[in-house]
Homo-oligomer: A and B are copies of this chain.
């Protein structure tokens, strides 16, 4: 479908589908690919074409290209992002590669979508923000992939809060619980080494939880108390036992700019919980509840009307008027986790079409990095409260 928005390129390039290069073909590459395939069939966005997928292993990358529907595969990301027929660079690599690729792509005038967390360090993140700001001046967009902002139920939750339906927010209670590391015999991976992953559950899943705290409330996290724990301190690596150098679990108590208190608890050893991003928000006039394992549901409670009729109601977020839902199926026909990425692309492509900078921006990503760094600092100081350096943006 040729959308009315297609080809609204900022720099006068021809009216043709936007070419996409994706760097990385593992878990995130597979998920992003599905989204790139689907977005144009369900949303009115600028047309795109999947030009090239890039990975280090030529054979496996070629296989991924065939399987996931990319025109070509390549092993040199630099070459790929400089191609004239590439307009968008989608970065799905491990975090330590984000900065270099993103900055070069932005400099080359390519719109950039980068998976979360923004980078492994504050320094890298800061450089990325600098590059993003400069590019934005030239109409080149950038976004960080906190895809859970695009869970329709959570977007709906944010809207209800923004509309004042909960009144002033007092407490948030957030957990992101998984259990894929419960078994002490589960082997080492790059995700368990500090040099490649930056941190463990903290950067991987607390980053999502913290982003939600800020996204839902529209407030910044101002101070944190943190605790980290590695329950299984050694795991089997390719050359024998290897120390686990990242956290298995993290606990955070945070104070927000508007006065609310939020707790965040994340773990990869929460036996029996598979992908439990659970959120509770308590306001003066209402409350909300959510669990990613049932991502089509939002529980909403209004503390109005007779007490005898109050209660949390299960809203099945599949109505045409729910965020993003008009694009999908009749009411009651649930969507899957993968479409958080489809919706992310919908918003990213819409931003490219309109020229309005998308959120979450690299600045938003940097703010999360600052919170994560403050948590680590607090954890190293017996959980004593640490201030988060203030960010300057005003909106989530």
Contact = CB atoms under 8 A, between A and B. Distances in A.
Interface of A: 1-2, 27, 31, 33-34, 37-38, 40-41, 63, 66-69, 156, 166, 170-171, 173, 175, 178-180, 182, 184, 225, 227, 229, 231, 249, 251, 253, 261, 263, 265, 267, 269-276, 280, 282-287, 292-296, 300-301, 303, 306-319, 321-322, 329-339, 381-385
Given A173-B175, A313-B312, A336-B335, A263 B263 contact: yes
Given A178-B332, A263-B265, A293-B316, A253 B227 contact: yes
A27 B314 contact: no
B311 A283 contact: no
11 contacts: A34-B38, A170-B231, A182-B284, A227-B261, A272-B287, A300-B311, A309-B313, A310-B313, A312-B313, A329-B337, A333-B336
Contacts of A300: 309, 311
7 closest A-B pairs by beta carbon, nearest first, are: A275-B332, A274-B332, A313-B313, A336-B336, A272-B301, A311-B313, A384-B384
A27 B320 CA distance: 14
Contacts of A275: 318, 330-334
Given A173-B175, A182-B284, A275-B333, 19 more contacts: A31-B329, A34-B38, A40-B67, A41-B68, A225-B225, A225-B227, A263-B265, A267-B282, A274-B316, A274-B318, A274-B331, A301-B313, A307-B331, A308-B321, A310-B313, A313-B313, A329-B338, A335-B336, A383-B385
A381 B332 CA distance: 34
